[in-house]
Structure 1
Amino acid sequence: MFRTKSGRRRGPAFALLAAASLVLALGGCSADTVTPGDARGKAGTDDKAGTAAGGVDCARAKCIALTFDAGPGKDTPHLLDVLKEKKVPATFFLLGKKHVDRYPEVVKRIADEGHEVANHTWTHQVLTDLDAAEVRDELSRTQDAIAKITGRKPTLMRPPQGRTDDTVSDVSRDLGLAQVLWSVTAKDYSTTDTALIRQRVLEQAHADGIILLHDIYDGTVPAVPGIIDELKRQGYTFVTVPQLLAPGKAEPGVVYRPEKDD
């Protein structure tokens, strides 16, 4: 598992700005992570088992998962309009404080429109800087807040900055949460240049990939239509993270991360 160097805690603002910058450190595949292909393989290879929910078989189709972190925010309703128009499902890793609690109607809409609602902690603290009780509080508060709105607790979480360790995994397992990392990032925390965000995603996109974007930054949502259109032109099928793993199911505590193409 990934371990942070023991250091002082950083506040939510610092963590948000740094969230995507560590993707290079997460680029290689570790024996402690499971790829989407591995998840599917463990579930079986017959035709019936090979089809994900929604009729997509990612063992055969060129699948990619679009994910958004740290929302919802003011631009999320427009993003949902775009996804509805393009008929694209996404996975939303929601932040609790000042997001889930500020935009409950948007959280409900995300769930009602068939997207996967997932957990991105309560205050975006780096979980490897916390003790077990603090990790549990960060995750369980968001679990409860989402369940109050949607009637269902998430089964997926994304640790801020992708930082996880045995303590985070143990607490996640107890709470029924699998951990989902990524293989494609636009580093949209660092730019409002929509064209650049689009370019970065398209340059890194690959089959079985998981794209990390944030629906809270000004340049990101305007980039999404162009990303979707071009990847569809290239033959990609957009799926949620559970669909990407199907017929496998995300196992609590396990870290899922795609292999990046060379």
Structure 2
Amino acid sequence: MNFFVTVSGRRIKQGFLIVMISFFTALFYFSQSIVQFPVLSAKDEPKAIYKGEKGVALTFNIGWGDIQAEPILKVLEEKKVQSATFFLSGAWAERHPEVVEKIKEAGFEIGSLGYAYEDYTELEDQQVRRDIDRSLEILKKLDIKEVKLLRSPTGHFDKRTLKIAEDMGLTVVHWSLNSQDWKNPGVNAIIKNVSKVKKGDIILMHASDSATQTAKALPEVLALINKKDEMVTVSYMIANGKVKTTLIP
């Protein structure tokens, strides 16, 4: 009888161990499956893209000034960069059509940064829609007609913002790596921030006049990106492979 009880105990332990291993294996694969969401999800929750699967997307915000943009464009030209995404404020584009033309002629992708520098989470729905609409009208007048990407001017957004953008046929693009260049922390600090770049990252940089050190840091930033992966536009990243999105409660 004692022998029978001992063998049964071993079998129970073995069975329990197998069950636990199976459980954690299933949990692991489940957690991996929810890491990435496709852009067009079956779920209705609004989403903002912040990371991709293939390539590295270098993005620039421009909200004011005409001093820093041209040196940045010059560096991109010298380094033969063909894939970058610029998010332009409508108010800025309206005042600097000649710089917009240079961005367009260089073949860079252009998205909207709204019209005015407004925090969309603090505006009524109608105001958010009006600001986005106004920016799209300005870009259309400047012969930039196929605008599909939107970045919230202050980087802040909520479910309402994402729903409005979705209704307008726009995809909200955030970022996974912030260069912090707008703080002007020093060229080396900007480079160090970008040195964390990984495959699939969307990098935030600025070409506004507030970012006075970006152009100087850019050559090394480009070298860092090229060591990691191919540089692509945000649209290419969306169209080729999965992208990570963030859900807003």
TM beyond 0.5: yes
What letter matches 1:230 in structure 2?
Answer: L
SS of structure 2 residue aligned to 1:123: coil
Separation of aligned partners in 1, 2:181 and 2:41: 33
Structure 2's unaligned 5+ residue stretches are 1-33, 43-51
Deviation at 1:223, TM superposition (A): 0.8
CA contact 1:93–1:120 (8 Å) conserved in 2: yes
Structure 1 residues 1-262: aligned runs within 5 Å: 38-39=38-39, 63-71=55-63, 73-88=66-81, 89-97=83-91, 99-202=92-195, 204-216=196-208, 217-232=211-226, 234-247=227-240, 256=245
CA contact 1:41–1:248 (8 Å) conserved in 2: no
CA contact 2:57–2:231 (8 Å) conserved in 1: yes
Separation of aligned partners in 1, 2:90 and 2:228: 35
TM-score normalised according to structure 2 size: 0.72
What letter matches 2:220 in structure 1?
Answer: G
TM-score normalised according to structure 1 size: 0.68
What letter matches 2:213 in structure 1?
Answer: G
Deviations 1:20-69 (A, max 9, x none): xxxxxxxxxxxxx995x734999xxxxxxxxxxxxxxx86x6x1000001
Moved over 4 A (4+): 39-42
Deviation at 1:192, TM superposition (A): 4.8
Inter-CA distance 167–147: structure 2 relative to 1 (3 Å threshold) = same
SS of structure 2 residue aligned to 1:160: coil
Deviation at 1:151, TM superposition (A): 3.9
Inter-CA distance 68–41: structure 2 relative to 1 (3 Å threshold) = same
Deviation at 1:79, TM superposition (A): 1.4
Deviation at 1:101, TM superposition (A): 1.2
CA contact 2:72–2:214 (8 Å) conserved in 1: no
Structure whose residues are more often helix by fraction: 2
Separation of aligned partners in 2, 1:249 and 1:115: 22
Deviations 1:77-103 (A, max 9, x none): 221121122222210111122x11121
Deviates more, 1:73-82 or 1:193-202: 73-82
Deviation at 1:153, TM superposition (A): 4.1
CA contact 1:179–1:256 (8 Å) conserved in 2: no
Separation of aligned partners in 1, 2:199 and 2:41: 16
Q: How many residues align?
A: 200
CA contact 1:158–1:180 (8 Å) conserved in 2: yes
Structure 1's unaligned 5+ residue stretches are 1-32, 43-57, 258-262
Separation of aligned partners in 1, 2:164 and 2:107: 27
